[in-house]
Amino acid sequence: MTFLETVCQALDKAGVRYAIVGGYAVALHGAVRGTVDVDCVINWNEKSLNLAEKAINGIGLVSRLPITADDIFQFRDEYIHNRNLLAWSFYNPQDLSQQLDLLIYFDLKGKKTKSFAIGDQFINVLDKKALIAMKRQSGRPQDLADIRALEQLP
């Protein structure tokens, strides 16, 4: 099982509504894109955030910062606007290639997702239109390149 599958399976089992975004999402939609980390978003509420933290820790990932889901939920605006923390980052101390960013500036609520089959599992990915809008909001050079690639897809 790949790291992406492991992450998605853990979130599914925990009952967290999630969507993969970032490089994996771009690639699953059909554009050529390499990436190392898994980026995901969730419905933004305290329960989902706590369930996500528990699921992520359950697969051996730890937070890069000494913060908890409760901290992220309580101080979200402070982290985003005053500390430029847009993602809560996790890594596996036993395998540094396993990295996950949980984007805290984006709420999945009301957004469409698309499921992609990988092996025996379905992976939830932000749908192409919402992914483009999210990347446009970011405006980073890689996101602008991703937008161009996504817009060329059928």
Q: Domain with 40 in it: what CATH number?
A: 3.30.460.40
Confidence of residue 140 (pLDDT cuts 50, 70, 90): confident
User: In this model, does residue 119 exceed pLDDT 90?
Assistant: no
| Tokens 């996500």 found at | 52
In a domain, 24, yes or no: yes
Q: Domain containing 12: what range?
A: 3-148
Calpha distance 87→67 (Å, rounded): 12
Q: Structural domain tally of the chain? A: 1
In a domain, 49, yes or no: yes
pTM, to two decimals: 0.94
Complete edge-to-edge strand list for the sheet that includes strand 62-63: 62-63, 87-92, 95-103, 38-42, 18-21, 121-126, 113-118
DSSP H helical segments within the chain, as ranges? Answer: 3-14, 23-29, 46-58, 69-74, 76-83, 128-138, 141-151
In a domain, 153, yes or no: no
Among candidate residues 119, 130, 149, 133, the one with its CA nearest the CA of residue 27? 149
Report residue 103 CA to chain centroid gap.
6
In a domain, 133, yes or no: yes
Task: Provide mean pLDDT across the span 100-115.
Answer: 96
Tens digits of per-residue pLDDT, 21-75? 999 999 999 998 888 899 999 999 999 999 999 999 999 999 999 999 999 999 9
| Tokens 């894109």 found at | 33
Work out the percent of the chain whose per-residue pLDDT is above 90. 90
Per-residue confidence (pLDDT) for residue 128, from 0 to 100: 96
In a domain, 57, yes or no: yes
DSSP-derived secondary structure letter, 33:
-
In a domain, 40, yes or no: yes
In a domain, 154, yes or no: no
Per-residue confidence (pLDDT) for residue 108, from 0 to 100: 97
In a domain, 15, yes or no: yes
